[in-house]
Amino acid sequence: MTLPDSPLAAYFADCPHIALATQAGEEALWTFDKGAAKVNGARLLARA
């Protein structure tokens, strides 16, 4: 089990959203979640 605060963790609920966006041909799923952003198909939305 990976803890949510682990630097490598993405919540399970993030994975279907990323997969659906990828399957729909979208470029990336933008997220504020640093863990989810490490999954292929997701990008981190951060302040400049």
31: its two tokens: 């997220």
What type of residue sits at position 26?
A: E
pLDDT of residue 1: 40
Residues of the chain with confidence (pLDDT) below 50: 1-3
Alpha helices by DSSP H, listed for the chain, are 14-23
Please tell me the distance from the alpha carbon of residue 46 to that of residue 37, in angstroms, as a whole number: 11
Radius of gyration of the CA atoms of the chain, in A: 11
Quick one: CA dihedral 1, 41, 5, 31, positive or negative?
negative
> Whole-structure pTM over 0.75, yes or no?
no
Longest dimension (CA), the chain: 33
